[in-house]
Structure 1
Amino acid sequence: MVLELIKNATLLITLCWMQGFITRYINERSMSGKLISGILFGAACVIGMSVPLTLAHGLIFDGRTVVLSMAAFFGGPLVGLIAGALAGAYRLWLGGISAHIGLLNVLMPVLMGLAYRHACKTGRVSFTLPSLLVFAVLVQGLQILILLLLPSEHLNLSRHYAFLPLLVVLIPSTLLLGFLLEDIRQQKLDREALRKSEAQLRAITEAVPDLSMVLDEEGRYLEIKAPDNNLLVAGGEGLLGRRVVDVLASSQAEMFMQFIALTLASDQPQTLEYELQTPAGWRVFEGRARRLDTTVDGKRALVLMARDITERVALELDRRIAAIAFESPQGMMITDASTRILKVNRAFSQISGYSQDDVVGQSTRMLGSGRQGAEFYQRMWHSLNETGLWEGEIWNRRKNGEIFPEWLTIGSVLNEQGLVTNYVASLVDISERKNAEQKILHMAFYDPLTGLPNRRLLRDRLEQAAALCRRKGHYCALIFLDLDDFKNVNDVYGHQVGDELLCQVAERLKHTVRELDTVARLGGDEFVIMLEGLESIAEEAGSQVEHIGSKLLLALREPYEVDGQQFFNSASLGVVLFNDEQHSVDQLMQCADLSMYSAKSAGKNTLSFYDPRMQEVVSHRLQLEQDMRRGLAAGEFVLYLQAQMNQRGELQGAEALVRWQHPERGLLGPGTFIEIAERSGLIAELDQYVLKQGCNLLASWAQQPHLAGLSLAVNISSRLLFKDDFIEVLQQKLHSSQANPHRLKLEITESLLLADKNEAAVRMQTLQALGIRFSIDDFGTGYSSLAYLQHLPLEQLKIDQSFVRDLPGSASSLAIIRAILALAHSLGLEAIAEGVETEEQHDLLLANGCKNFQGYLFSKPMAVAAFEALEICQR
């Protein structure tokens, strides 16, 4: 019995499996699909009932309850009813004593299947093994209860042979068929989902404008999809099956292989940005890759989606450049077409003081200073409307109310229709530049100490005045003013006091002359006054100048007070009148300068008008200066020596003096050219010349035993001592000549030390370390403090000949000489008297402790050869 029922159930399950296999290719949700499914389930029941387990005529048992319950559960009401109707109809056709009970066993599983379906749909139960087992037990239990309606003889027969097989076979069959149909249904759902996913993926792939590629671990192209083949290497021809190393440059291929290895080693998608030369040009791509979970032809592979981002990169670059440009050091402002401010940068806020919140939405008129009139803005807008650009200098107002100048550039932004949509303005605060320009202008045309016009501005005003007076017939006057004895103030009290005195002089001059006149400072203590608008008759103009000059002299004679100390410094004035352009500016200034020196020669504190004869002196001086430059280059200056003796009448050395062997004027003494050398700046060059000759002479004496012990004293000026390269140049001269520095003595004046005592001390100590000695020339005639004698590396004081000359008749000169000798003795310094011409002078000096002498008594200055031939040199 059990075996027969198992065969029947197996047949039905097989038929239902075939039915499920067939229905996977039809749409069960459609009406036709449901009809076909219901007919197939019903047919399976009919076939099952055609080979039943028969206990008596009309008493049959089969697995229809299993099939019908699952048909209703999986197919729904329509499928269940169709299957049930076919099964019921066939059972009625079979007839027999249990036909009505057979119909109940057709209806009951259909209803139970629908109830189970509803419970699962509503979430009350889940389709699981336990729930399906309970369902199977209920169905078969109800079938047995229905069988209890059989007549007793058939009931006993069924109870004895059928009840247990029904439970043993049909319950497992229900479970088996349920999971079999569920698996078929799930496979169908998976296939539908897969087809749907593939369709969506295909649609997405075709809709997205990206390159899609599948590459294996060797970098081989397995699949390529491109919206445009021009984005592929070589247009994509022949790429499939080839590797990246075969089609890309080595550097790019290496990059791709590293990227492939990184992607295959990671569970996460990887990104890559790369550049590629394509038929469409050089393009930039952004790639995103994910490894495949399965292998392709036994090799790991990945999917790479690459998007052409060339335009995006270019736009991003433009955006960054624009952002950087907008945040430039220049103030930037963007407005709409109505000049309402839309955006400003940080530089704008720093320049104007307004934050972005202060100005956004406001009109640019809020920045106006009111300095420019309506015509200015009309010209600005005319330029903007005509050319789309305007730039220029404008005055605007800061948030704190300060008005400042700026350089403003405005450009128009047009849309496709050519209409203005925005204005972009850049601005630069030029306050510092304008201040610098004013300072530069002031420095170029004004004296930094006194604030008076300088030489450049004076020349410009002189040219204008000369042209004006020629047109109007009026005279003008040029006055050169030089303070008398101002050098003494600088020498004694220092340059700081001298500068303050010069500032007071400038103030007095400005308050003494008229407003239309010009007071200028050329440098040092030299001032120039230009008087304009004088009378048209020379005599009357001269009287005016004389009157103004008298006022100037009177004002300048008043005492000056600096740091609590009074100074009395008069002035010498030189005047030249002019009323035409026949004389150049340089000529006028030379004439005024010359007349000023004439005033000094006349006793100072006076005014002197220009005399044409003065020009001859000027011309002579200029010619002599030119001759000096030529003479230095040609070696026309020669060394003269004057002997220096000790108290025993022994020759100790000589002082080097210079003479000029002029090719036309013969031998010239220092009185002819030293002043010109100092005025022209040639004095340092002349000193260098004498030093070189002196070093050569010392080197020559070193080779002669009777002269080797002599020293040589050489005078040097402040210009030479304070030259930057003086020490190095002197060392070079000593080295090249092989002269003994211990035999070289440098004579300096007291006034030289006042320029910069500290710097002088440093330089003198450096030279002393080389063996060079120092002597103070003309000692006692200066105005300096004697404190420098304690700090400077001096070895000798030279008593000025003005004191020696008056001996023995002048008691005051003798007293000064005694004081100098006592000072030298107390400081351990050597003293030498110059200008000794008589035995009386020599004896008196010797009696008072002087041990060294120089003067005509022993020898006059003479040429080197004559000096070396002296008897005293041969001893």
Structure 2
Amino acid sequence: MSNKSQTSICESNFRKLCDDNQAMSIQGYDAEGKVVYWNSASEKMYGYSAAEALGKTLYELIIPAPMQDDVKAAVAWMFEHREGIPAARLDLQHKSGSPVPVYSSHTVVEVADQQPIMFCMDADLRALEVVEAEVQRLSYFDSLTELPNRRLLLERLDGLTKAPVLERNISALMLIDIDNFHSINDSLGFDIGDQVLTHCAKRLKKLSDTQDGLARLGKDEFIFVYSDLGQDMAQAATQAEQCARCILEALHHPITLNKSIHKLNVRIGITLFGHSGRVAGSTLISQADIALKAAKQQADDNISFFDRTMQDALHQRLKLSQALNHAIAEQQLSIVYQPQVDSQQQLLSCEALLRWEHPEFGTVAPADFIPIAEANGSIVEIGEWVLESCVQTLVEWSKQPKFADLSLAINVSAMQFRQTNFVERVQQCIERSGVDPTKLRFELTESLMADDIGRITQQMTQLRALGISLSLDDFGTGYASLAYLTQLPLDELKIDRAFVNDLEHDGKGALLAKTIISLGQSMNLAVIAEGVETQAQFLRLQELGCELFQGYLFGRPSRTVSPP
């Protein structure tokens, strides 16, 4: 067969492939930007039939006026250099004039005896933007009660404390806890427990003029912010206590559960703020929590205020902060490994988890010391120690056939990642140890997305160039959006345990887990679910299409790893 015949067959097959592609808009343009090819998906996406589009320029059809000069320059460059430009998210234009957000990639194709053609392949992001709006809503609101969650509450508290001290009125933050709520779940079931929570949320909404000061922190805890109490501390405290008494009365009102009458017992911790320097929202919640613990120890009252006599917990935090600075030198830190498996429960990799044993404080939970390490900056040194330790572990595994194929996931703090020399330090560690970097996976948190996304993307690209894979931890709970995902060079999404816990109730957490799995599949990203503790969760995740899993069902964190 002649080369010309082969070329003709290839071209025919290529056009058929493009014509049959219903999910991707594919257009072909000559050097002047005139349409020479327009598939059926393009007709649906942009509203122009192939007959209308052929012979017209992309500038007449889909490029908004503000973009035209840049696009013309890019097209000229591609034809001059005979190569495409990096794929990007663009806001193009429908025939009706409405915007069409797309993820667009471009290439220039040369065929013998013919003029080169620039092909544009556009994926429609409009459906993703609808999902993104739902993700954002779920990121700011509790899926069960529809109340604001911790993240939104902290943002609103930040707004309350921004005004100059002299202009601020005193406000009260109340932390509300349902006594022995776990016994309701244990004896009556989680569905009944959910009814209790929604009942309390409705009662609190009736007591609040606006939902701006309401939130559900999680489990059985709610926040109620009572603002504008004047500038006299004694009067403000009196008003706050009166409000707390109203909350107690409303929530103590009998409720019917499973055809039986129940009476809830509630405790409230209160802290006042706004009368002194600016205090972080997380600190206010911690103060209210200290007050709540005091209320739980009282036999004669369900309400307690935070005051300076309750500073023991804060002093303990200071002691931990100081002790962390010596934890590495004193060899108090260690690493345990939690298995990550496939649908056949075959061990594929592990996540490295940090542990701290202190001679005075005993075992300190990561949830207690990691935030302190991030606050005092010691997380950078600790993170480097973790990396060095994990690299040495991988080197040792590589010498043993039964462990040689395992990879290792390492959590990287946002503060550590932000260091200007982070990539350089990682590269030096790899070269010094001789580890296979493809066995390393860095788990990054969504809080990174609050930074300069361009710089973050550049660092991530540099890490991937070293051979390291990247995972976005707890996706859906923080700052990341679907638009960011199109820019970030990721390999994996990790489903937060909160959504996994909601699977068996088939709630909105389950909807979000399903969305994340579908999103990962559409973007060719691996998806791993953490916190899998029951067989029912495992089976449900498989039904949704998840292929990687981590949790107590497959093994608890341990200093030793069992071979696959």
Q: TM-score, normalised by structure 2?
A: 0.51
Distance (Å, rounded) in 2 between the aligned partners of 1:618 and 1:646: 43
In the alignment, is the contact (CA less than 8 A) between 1:574 and 1:607 conserved in 2? Answer: no
CA contact (8 A) 1:594 1:615 kept: no
**3-state secondary structure, aligned to 1:632:** coil
Q: 1:681 and 2:377 equivalent?
A: yes
1:319-468 counterparts in 2 under 5 A? none
Decide whether the 8 Å contact of 1:718 with 1:752 is kept in 2. yes
Quote the sequence identity (%): 36
Change (3 A) 1:829 1:490: farther
Structure 1 segment 685-724 matched on structure 2, within 5 A? 685-724=381-420
In the other structure, the counterpart of 1:839 is 535
Q: Tell me, yes or no, if the aligned pair for 2:471 and 2:492 is still in contact at 8 Å.
A: yes
Question: 1:669: Cα distance to partner?
Answer: 2.8
Residues 322-367 of structure 1: per-residue CA shift (max 9 Å, x gap): xxxxxxxxxxxxxxxxxxxxxxxxxxxxxxxxxxxxxxxxxxxxxx
Counterpart of 1:599, as a letter, is A
Which of 495, 506, 514 matches 2:163? 506
> 1:343-742 counterparts in 2 under 5 A?
505-506=162-163, 509-512=165-168, 544-547=232-235, 573-574=272-273, 597-599=286-288, 609-612=306-309, 614-742=310-438
What is the CA distance between 1:633 and its match in structure 2? 2.1
Give the Cα separation in 2 of the matches to 1:658 and 1:791: 30
- Please report the RMSD computed on the Cα atoms of aligned residues, expressed in angstroms: 3.8
With CA pairs under 8 Å and 6+ residues apart, which has the higher RCO, 1 or 2?
2
Per-residue CA shift, 1:60-97, capped at 9, x if unaligned?
A: xxxxxxxxxxxxxxxxxxxxxxxxxxxxxxxxxxxxxx
CA 1:543/1:782 → structure 2, altered by over 3 Å: closer, same or farther? closer
- Kept in 1, the 8 Å contact 2:412–2:443? The answer is yes
- Which residue number corresponds to residue 787 of structure 1? 483
Alignment-mate amino acid for residue 598 of structure 1: Q
Structure 2 match to 1:776: 472
In structure 2, what is the equivalent of residue 164 of structure 1? none
Q: 1:686, CA displacement in angstroms?
A: 1.8
Alpha carbons of structure 1 residues 576 and 783: separation in structure 2 relative to 1, 3 Å = closer
For residue 61 of structure 2, what is the aligned residue in structure 1?
none
Match of 1:291 in 2: none
Paired residue type of 2:499: F
What 5-or-longer segments of structure 2 have no aligned partner?
1-147, 171-229, 241-269, 293-302
Q: Distance in 2 between matches of 1:512 and 1:653?
A: 53
Q: Deviations over 1:371-413 (max 9, x none)?
A: xxxxxxxxxxxxxxxxxxxxxxxxxxxxxxxxxxxxxxxxxxx
Amino acid at match of 1:511: E
Question: What is the distance in 1 between the residues matched to 2:485 and 2:398?
Answer: 32
Change (3 A) 1:856 1:512: closer
Deviations along 1:623-645, one digit per CA (max 9) or x if unpaired, are 11222111122221101000000
**SS, match of residue 633 in structure 1:** coil
Distance 1:844 1:619, change over 3 A: same
Query: Aligned equivalents of 1:688 and 1:771: distance in 2?
Result: 18
Q: Deviations over 1:814-847 (max 9, x none)?
A: 2221111111111111101111112221111112
Which consecutive residues of structure 1, in runs of 5 or more, have no partner in the other structure? 1-483, 492-496, 515-541, 553-570, 578-587
Equivalent-residue separation in structure 1 for 2:539 and 2:379 (angstroms): 37
**Runs of 4+ in structure 1 displaced over 6 angstroms?**
484-487, 548-552, 592-596, 600-603
1:861 aligns with 2:557: yes
**CA distance in structure 1 between the partners assigned to 2:304 and 2:454 by the alignment:** 39
**Using a 3 Å threshold, how does the CA distance of structure 1 residues 596 and 576 change in structure 2: closer, same or farther?**
farther
- Mapped partners of 2:306, 2:505: distance in 1: 42
Offset at residue 545 of structure 1 (A): 1.7
* TM-score where L is the length of structure 1: 0.33
Give the Cα separation in 2 of the matches to 1:490 and 1:621: 21
Q: How does 1:74-473 map to 2 (within 5 A)?
A: none
CA distance in 1, matches of 2:476, 2:283: 32
Deviation at 1:489, TM superposition (A): 9.3
Q: CA deviation at 1:685?
A: 2.1
For 2:92, the equivalent position in structure 1 comes to none
Q: Deviations over 1:716-773 (max 9, x none)?
A: 1111011111111111111111111111100011122212211110110011110111
Label 1:489 to 1:771 Cα distance change in 2 as closer, same or farther (>3 A): farther
Offset of 1:648 from its aligned partner?
2.4
Mapped contact 1:804–1:834 kept (Cα < 8 A): yes
CA deviation vs aligned residue, 1:1-45 (integer Å, no higher than 9, x gap): xxxxxxxxxxxxxxxxxxxxxxxxxxxxxxxxxxxxxxxxxxxxx
Greater share of helix: 1
Cα displacement (A) at 1:490: 9.8
CA contact (8 A) 1:575 1:595 kept: no
* Aligned CA distance change for structure 1 residues 608 and 683 (closer, same or farther; 3 Å): farther
Contact 2:374 / 2:415 at 8 angstroms: preserved in 1? no
**Larger gyration radius, structure 1 or structure 2:** 1
CA distance in 2, matches of 1:811, 1:609: 36
> Which residue identity is paired with 1:828?
N
Structure 2 counterpart SS, 1:631: coil
2:167 counterpart letter in structure 1? H
Partner Cα separation in structure 1 for residue 431 and residue 514 of structure 2: 40
Read off the aligned partner of 2:463 and give its amino acid letter. L
Q: 1:810 aligns with which of 506, 519, 527?
A: 506
Aligned to 2:183: none
Matched residues in 2 for 1:593 and 1:723: separation?
25
- Residue 520 of structure 1 corresponds to none
- Name 1:753's counterpart in structure 2: 449
**1:593–1:853 distance in 2 versus 1, CA, 3 Å:** closer
Structure 1 window deviating more from structure 2 (818-827 vs 774-783): it is 774-783
2:244 is aligned to none
SS at match of 2:459: helix
Q: Amino acid of the residue matched to residue 412 of structure 2? A: I
Residue-by-residue CA offset, 1:510-558 (whole Å, 9 max, x unaligned): 43479xxxxxxxxxxxxxxxxxxxxxxxxxxx99324468999xxxxxx
Q: 1: CA distance between counterparts of 2:460 and 2:357?
A: 32
Deviation of residue 611 (structure 1)? 3.8
C-alpha contact (below 8 Å) 2:449/2:479 kept by paired residues: no
The match for 2:188 is none
SS in 2 for 1:745: strand
Cα shift readout 1:586-643 (whole Å, capped 9, x = no counterpart) = xx999x997773136669xx9955241x221122111112221111222211010000
Look up the SS of the partner of 2:399 in the other structure: coil
Paired amino acid for 1:641: Y
Verify the 8 A CA contact 2:168 2:274 in the aligned structure 1.
Answer: no
Which SS does the other structure have where 1:506 is aligned?
A: coil
- Cα distance in 2 for partners of 1:800, 1:486 equals 16
Contact 1:549–1:607 (CA under 8 A) maintained in structure 2? no
Output one character per residue of 1:163-199: Cα deviation in whole Å (capped at 9) or x when no partner: xxxxxxxxxxxxxxxxxxxxxxxxxxxxxxxxxxxxx
Tell me what 2:463 maps to. Answer: 767
The answer to whether the 8 Å contact 2:290/2:306 transfers is no
